[in-house]
Amino acid sequence: MPSLIDLTLEGRKVGQHRPWPRVVVDASVWTFAATELAHGRWSLLGLWGEPATVHMAIMDGQAAEIAVVSLDCPDRSFPSVGKHHPPALRLERTIHDLFGLSAEGAPDTRPWLDHNRWGVRFPLGDRIDALPKATPYGLLVAEGDGLHQIPVGPVHAGIIEPGHFRFTASGETVVRLEQRLGYVHKGIDGLMSGASLERGVHLAGRTSGDSTVAYAYAFSRAAEAALDLAVPDRAVLLRALLAELERLANHLGDIGAICNDASFALMHAHCGVLRESVLRAAGAAFGHRLMRDVIVPGGVSRDIGADGVQTIRAALDNIRLRFPALVELYDNTASLQDRTVDTGVLKPPLARQYAAGGYIGRASGRSFDARRALVYPPYDRLRFDVPTLNEGDVNARVWIRVREVEQSLSLIEQILRRLPNGPTRTEVPLGGAVREGMAVVEGFRGDVLVWLRLRNGLIERCHMRDPSWFQWPLLEAVIENNIVADFPLCNKSFNCSYSGHDL
């Protein structure tokens, strides 16, 4: 069995790429990598384009090694990865929409983010005029006696992001769900090109609102990797503090919201109060409830004072006091368990194939957590467990969140105890002519990947990959054979990002 090192020896190594290697390979090595992905020996971390190049980030889960392979596409096409490894399909459709590079042999060539509304095609490649008339999107068909379709969205009934879901149902049972996303595509990749690092991190923090810390964190770490820049120790710990507060707030909100979708409003009300206490503490300590624009390349832009530490401690004490009763309530309410147990089951092999991150993967036997597997500081000196379950149902995804709330409480306590004095930010140098960097950070919903290339200190190209890319298709799979009324439960227990995905 080849290792990733062998693969990187096959290509021409790119000098200024940190911390993992990037190699330019030929089409045969590219296809070999795709088939190895298909055999499950490696996991696909990302697949993105440039005007005449495609890049693929691959991880060897056993060794926690990562490599980026790149393929030049002078004739504007590249051998399809999705043909062998379905998790790549939507990424390839996106590469075509944005850059005009086609995946040769891909089984699905429909547009993905491009709804023919931009007035231009291939906006980040060789732009051409939009099609004169929008052709209807070819939804997949399901045929059979008594099947009916239920179209939902893009504007939904709740306060959630826009996307279209097309259910095909037989009576109450869903036989197929197809998603149509891209409604919140803002062209962030395009806005990043030519931007300063300051604007870059500002945009990164607005890619997915609930993961604003995780994105700013990953972006900053990628920029620092490119520039070979070390961050002061106080900032290193403060960043983890911010990330854990974000995880805590989101998990608390999610646990309540999942129960609410099973019509159990009491949990929602109590979890909402706990979530609010985290946001208020964050607002008092860092000046912004969602902790936006705090993490920046070089460190953090705001330090925390003694009263900030005090406020956070008080919020934690309150959660420690109240949360166990809520967990008990969840565990002991049969009517609630009846809805969550055995609903929306994601089988472990599928989670592994899609390299599903976060609570989705961990509820289906995939224990990957970037904080543990890729050990970035300060997590190398903090004690925490990565909870894993195998059931893969809505209930398991709730329990993973419950356990992660407990872990985050402990992590925050450890961070506050260890917080050293000292500076919180270091000067960011312009760097050499061309520098490339990459980072993977564990957000609350999974691993956020940021890859960027700097030229004379400005961003030439930045690609951000939300964990949702590999989680959305799994939602299509788990809903099968469940009843329509359980879709909100399945959906909420996944809580995939629309904005982070559509970018």
150 binds another protein per the rule CB under 8 A:
no
Site for another protein in 212-271 (CB under 8 A): 212, 253, 266, 269-270
Among 13, 117, 320, 381, binds another protein (CB under 8 A): 117
Candidates 73-81, 160-168, 364-372, 454-462; binding stretch for another protein (CB under 8 A): 160-168
Candidates 47-55, 285-293, 348-356, 371-379; binding stretch for another protein (CB under 8 A): 285-293
Closest CB to another protein among residues 9, 131: 131
Among 329, 409, 416, 484, binds another protein (CB under 8 A): 329
275 binds another protein per the rule CB under 8 A:
yes
Q: What 8-state DSSP symbol labels residue 483?
A: B
**Cα(104)–Cα(84) distance, integer angstroms:** 12
Least separation, in Å, of the C-beta of 6 and another protein? 40
Closest CB to another protein among residues 97, 442: 97
208 binds another protein per the rule CB under 8 A:
yes
**Cα(451)–Cα(468) distance, integer angstroms:** 17
Closest CB to another protein among residues 101, 203: 203
CA proximity to 205, closest of 306, 297, 104: 297
Which secondary-structure segment (H or E) carries 58? strand 53-60
Give long-range contacts, CB 8 A cutoff, 24+ apart: 429-436.
429/227, 429/229, 429/457, 430/456, 430/457, 431/226, 431/227, 431/456, 431/457, 432/16, 434/16, 434/460, 435/16, 435/18, 435/226, 435/227, 436/14, 436/16, 436/17, 436/18, 436/22, 436/226
199 binds another protein per the rule CB under 8 A:
yes
Closest CB to another protein among residues 163, 365: 163
Least separation, in Å, of the C-beta of 182 and another protein? 6
The secondary structure of 75-105 as a DSSP string is TSEEE-STTT-GGGHHHHHHHHHHH--EEET
Closest CB to another protein among residues 178, 391: 178
Candidates 3-11, 111-119, 313-321, 392-400; binding stretch for another protein (CB under 8 A): 111-119
Least separation, in Å, of the C-beta of 185 and another protein? 5
Least separation, in Å, of the C-beta of 230 and another protein? 29
Which secondary-structure segment (H or E) carries 500? helix 499-502
485 binds another protein per the rule CB under 8 A:
no
Contact 103, 95 (CB under 8 A): yes
Among 133, 136, 159, 420, binds another protein (CB under 8 A): 159
Candidates 53-61, 119-127, 392-400, 434-442; binding stretch for another protein (CB under 8 A): 119-127
Closest CB to another protein among residues 65, 189: 189
Among 102, 207, 340, 468, binds another protein (CB under 8 A): 207
CA distances from 131 to 117, 128, 183, 261, 367 (A): 9, 9, 18, 41, 45
Closest CB to another protein among residues 187, 457: 187
**Cα(456)–Cα(430) distance, integer angstroms:** 6
The secondary structure of 305-342 as a DSSP string is -HHHHHHHHHHHHHHHHHHHHHHHHHHH-HHHHHHHTT
Binding mask 290-309 for another protein (x = CB under 8 A): x-x-----------------
Candidates 58-66, 140-148, 276-284, 450-458; binding stretch for another protein (CB under 8 A): 276-284
Place of tokens 């019509």: 263
Among 191, 309, 341, 458, binds another protein (CB under 8 A): 191
Give long-range contacts, CB 8 A cutoff, 24+ apart: 372-379.
373/61, 373/64, 374/64, 374/66, 374/440, 376/221, 376/439, 376/441, 377/236, 378/236, 378/237, 378/240, 378/415, 378/418, 379/240
- List residues binding another protein (CB under 8 A): 113, 115, 117-120, 123, 154-155, 157-162, 182-188, 190-191, 199, 202-203, 206-210, 212, 253, 266, 269-270, 272-273, 275-276, 279, 283, 289-290, 292, 325, 329, 333, 497-499
